[in-house]
Structure 1
Amino acid sequence: MKYKKIFFISPPFYSHFNPLLVLAKSFQEYGAEVTFGCSIEFKEKILKENLKFYEIDISTNKNIGKGENTIQPDTERIRLEEFFESTKKGAVETLITQSHHRKADMLYNPEELIDKIKLIDDSIDVDLYVVDILSYSVTLSLYFLGLPFITFCPPHPNTIPKEGKYFNVPKSWPEAITIKEEDLRMLKQVSTQTQREFTEVFNNIITENKSIKKISNAFSLVSEIAVIYNYFDFNNIEKNEEKPKEIFIGNSFKAVTLDEEWLEKIDTKEKIIMISLGTFLSNRKDVLEKLILLVREIYPSALLIVSAGSNVEKFKKYSSPNTIIEDFIPQIALMHYVDTVVFHGGCNTLTEAMYYGKEMVILPFSSDQFNIAYDVEKNKLGRVLDPNNFSKEELSKAFNDIEEISKDSLLYWRNTSRERGADYAAKKILEIE
């Protein structure tokens, strides 16, 4: 085995940490010695998986499960509020806001991180590092130090812009999201400026090491060995012979069983619908409330399960024997039992729903969610609505339409997901000579 000692470096974001942890466990089960670096808030979860923990902070912005309730510095809280407000104004406004925030969110003390990672490499005999695509300072540090690493991409593959493409600008848009040409031009201008600023920061540091080349796009800097996508190869582009390898795994989560208390709650012959807008976007209580009320009208007898995050108390008034509203739900364990998932287009929920072959209605707000929603729509795997502008009739039609979607297509990708997963990626990497 070429890579015996592997060091994972994870951002302190719940939605990225979890798939990375599952991937780390797969490497360990294939015989690698794994150390998992992350902030102290995740130590207990790492040790529970019998992995070695190494404390390292790579971001001041954190999300440990309920984004808006995580203790944050004031600057982070202000940016979070700006983000939530921008989602109410639409897709372009949200993406522009996110682009403006990128430098503060994702480029954390690169000089300090270079020293931290050099210390790790000097004290631990590491053969290979695994870094999340959004941990740009870590990627820069590993590149600067000339250390071997793998890039793990939990969001949509377009998060890594190809030649001629724009960072943070969807390649294609789902039909429900209408974009004006002038707004798209503005988004591309902001994206170009952010990309230029990031790349300039990278190259100013890179010039201190005369043995490495400057880069043309900081957002496209990835491993020379392999990129692992926690996604589906919808466009048949997986590369296993060339470098870097491109490995599509379809899921990186651990299947878990539902406890007895929940089994009793969902003991019904009626349709089961889950609403989950993710750890951050459950903050959009206006959308969440609208969905609860409309689903109750459209399917009066269905069992509705809602993940409400910190807004749970505001929605408890809607609770009933067939409306379960909790701050946190065991989403992965529940997924096996639900019929339909209404969600924001986050990659984790997508891979879970696809693994179990579930009907999907997507309301994309931000980031890679527009790309994901487009892929689902294009491949006839679900329906898409504008979260800021949908009616009861449109939601009802989406529910009706998904019953007519291509079952063959859903079955094909469900089977593909089950054949792959984190074990598939670990095996592919450890087979490298």
Structure 2
Amino acid sequence: MKYKKIFFISPPFYSHFNPLLVLAKSFQKYGAEVTFGCSIEFKEKILEENLAFYEIDISSNKNTGKAENTIQPDTERIRLEEFFESTKKGAVETLITQSRHRKADMLYNPDELIDKIKLIDDSLAADLYVVDILSYSVTLSLYALSLPFITFCPPHPNTIPKKGDYFNVPRNWPEAITIKEEELRRLEQVSTQTQREFTEVFNHIITRNKSLKKINNAFSLVSDIAVIYNYFDFNNSDKQEEQPKKLFIGNSFKAATLDGKWLEKIETKEKIIMITLGTFLSNRKDVLEKLILGVREIYPSALLIISAGSHVEELKKYSSPNTIIEGFIPQIALMPYVDTVVFHGGCNTLTEAIYYGKKMIILPFSSDQFNIAYDIEKNRLGSVLDPNNFSKQELANAFNDTEEISKESLQYWKSISRKRGADYAAKQIVEID
């Protein structure tokens, strides 16, 4: 076994931490000695999985469950509020805001981080590191120190731009999201500027190591060993015989059991609909409210379960025996019982829904969600709505359309998901000679 001691470095983002933790357990299962590095807020969860914990902060921005409730500096809160406001203005304004925030959010103290990672390597002598694609400072540090690492990509594969692509600009858009040509050009200009700034920082540090070559695009810098995508190979891109290996795993979550209280709530219900906009976008109370009222009108007798985040008290007025509104719901445990999932297009919810073969309605707001929504639409796995501009009739049509989705396609990708989890990726890596 070539890689006996593996060090995971996770960003302090709930949605990225969880799939990384599952992957770490898979490496441990195949005999690797795993240490998991993250901020102190996640220590308990790491120890619960019998993994060694190492405290390391790699971002000033954190999301430990409900983003707006996480304790963080005022500068991060201001950026978070700017992001939420931008989502109300549409896709382009949101992506522009995110692009402008990237340097502050995701290029955290690279010089300091290089020193921290060198200290880790000197003391633990890891054979391999695993880094999240959005942890750009970590990737830079590992590359600058010439340490072996694997790139883990929890969001859409297009998060890593190919030659000719723009960072943070969707390659394709779902039909429900209308983009004007002049808006797209403006987004591409901002993307180009952000990419230039990132790459200049990278090359300034990289050139200190005389044996390393400058890079063309910081956002395209990945492992030369393997890239693990927590996604589906919709475009036949899996390349195991090439360097780096490209491994598509389709899910990296831990199954959960529903407790007795929840089982009582959902028993005898003929139709169950889940609404979840993720830890960040549950902030959009206006969209949650519109969805609750719309679904209640379309399906008066269905059981509606809503993850409301910090707005739970304000939305509780819509609670009823058939409408459960909670700040946090056991989403993974509930998924097997749900008929339709209405969500933001986040990769974790997507992989959970496909693993259990559920109908999907996606309302993409930001980041990779437009690429994900496009893939689901193209492969006839669900319906897509514009979160800022959908009518009750369009919502009803989306539910009707889910009844016409390709059940054959859904079953195919469900089977792929169950064959290719985190264990599959770990096995591929530990078997490298």
TM over 0.5: yes
1:72 Cα offset (Å): 1.2
Residue of structure 2 equivalent to 1:359: 359
Residue of structure 2 equivalent to 1:227: 227
Residue of structure 1 equivalent to 2:335: 335
Note the alpha carbon deviations across 1:132-159, whole angstroms, 9 max, x for none.
Answer: 0000000000000000000000000000
1:78 Cα offset (Å): 0.4
Cα distance in 2, alignment partners of residues 64 and 401 from structure 1: 35
* 1:283 has 2:283 as partner: yes
1:77 Cα offset (Å): 0.4
Residue of structure 2 equivalent to 1:267: 267
Residue of structure 2 equivalent to 1:41: 41
Cα distance in 1, alignment partners of residues 269 and 189 from structure 2: 52
One-letter amino acid of the structure 1 residue matched with residue 126 of structure 2:
V
Cα distance in 2, alignment partners of residues 89 and 48 from structure 1: 41
Of all paired residues, the percent bearing the same amino acid is 86
Cα distance in 1, alignment partners of residues 204 and 268 from structure 2: 61
Residue of structure 2 equivalent to 1:66: 66
Query: 2:150 touches 2:225 (CA, 8 Å); kept in 1?
Result: yes
Query: 2:269 touches 2:303 (CA, 8 Å); kept in 1?
Result: no
Unmatched tracts of structure 2, length 5 or more: none
Residue of structure 1 equivalent to 2:104: 104
Cα distance in 2, alignment partners of residues 240 and 279 from structure 1: 34
One-letter amino acid of the structure 1 residue matched with residue 112 of structure 2:
E
Cα distance in 2, alignment partners of residues 266 and 67 from structure 1: 28
Residue of structure 1 equivalent to 2:210: 210
* 1:77 has 2:77 as partner: yes
Note the alpha carbon deviations across 1:214-263, whole angstroms, 9 max, x for none.
Answer: 10000000000000000000001100001000000000001111111110
Query: 2:362 touches 2:383 (CA, 8 Å); kept in 1?
Result: yes
The 5 A counterparts of 1:363-382 are 363-382=363-382
Residue of structure 2 equivalent to 1:182: 182
TM-score (norm 2): 1.00
Cα distance in 2, alignment partners of residues 347 and 168 from structure 1: 16
Residue of structure 1 equivalent to 2:123: 123
Cα distance in 2, alignment partners of residues 388 and 72 from structure 1: 28
Query: 2:294 touches 2:392 (CA, 8 Å); kept in 1?
Result: yes
* 1:17 has 2:43 as partner: no
Residue of structure 2 equivalent to 1:245: 245
Note the alpha carbon deviations across 1:404-429, whole angstroms, 9 max, x for none.
Answer: 11000000000000001100000000
One-letter amino acid of the structure 1 residue matched with residue 272 of structure 2:
I
One-letter amino acid of the structure 1 residue matched with residue 251 of structure 2:
N
The 5 A counterparts of 1:417-432 are 417-432=417-432
Cα distance in 2, alignment partners of residues 72 and 293 from structure 1: 34
One-letter amino acid of the structure 2 residue matched with residue 61 of structure 1:
N
The 5 A counterparts of 1:154-173 are 154-173=154-173
One-letter amino acid of the structure 1 residue matched with residue 243 of structure 2:
K
Query: 2:251 touches 2:355 (CA, 8 Å); kept in 1?
Result: yes
Cα distance in 2, alignment partners of residues 44 and 390 from structure 1: 41
Note the alpha carbon deviations across 1:355-397, whole angstroms, 9 max, x for none.
Answer: 0000000000000000000000000000000000000000000
Residue of structure 1 equivalent to 2:256: 256
1:207 Cα offset (Å): 1.1
Cα distance in 2, alignment partners of residues 282 and 79 from structure 1: 17
One-letter amino acid of the structure 2 residue matched with residue 4 of structure 1:
K
1:270 Cα offset (Å): 2.0
One-letter amino acid of the structure 2 residue matched with residue 158 of structure 1:
N
Query: 2:61 touches 2:72 (CA, 8 Å); kept in 1?
Result: yes
Residue of structure 1 equivalent to 2:347: 347
Cα distance in 1, alignment partners of residues 364 and 92 from structure 2: 12
1:268 Cα offset (Å): 2.2
Q: Secondary structure at the match of 1:158?
A: helix
Cα distance in 1, alignment partners of residues 46 and 373 from structure 2: 32
Cα distance in 2, alignment partners of residues 261 and 276 from structure 1: 20
Cα distance in 2, alignment partners of residues 267 and 279 from structure 1: 27
1:125 Cα offset (Å): 1.8
Cα distance in 2, alignment partners of residues 315 and 269 from structure 1: 22
Cα distance in 2, alignment partners of residues 153 and 165 from structure 1: 17
Unmatched tracts of structure 1, length 5 or more: none
Residue of structure 2 equivalent to 1:326: 326
Q: Secondary structure at the match of 2:31?
A: coil
* 1:5 has 2:5 as partner: yes
Aligned length: 433
Cα distance in 2, alignment partners of residues 64 and 345 from structure 1: 19
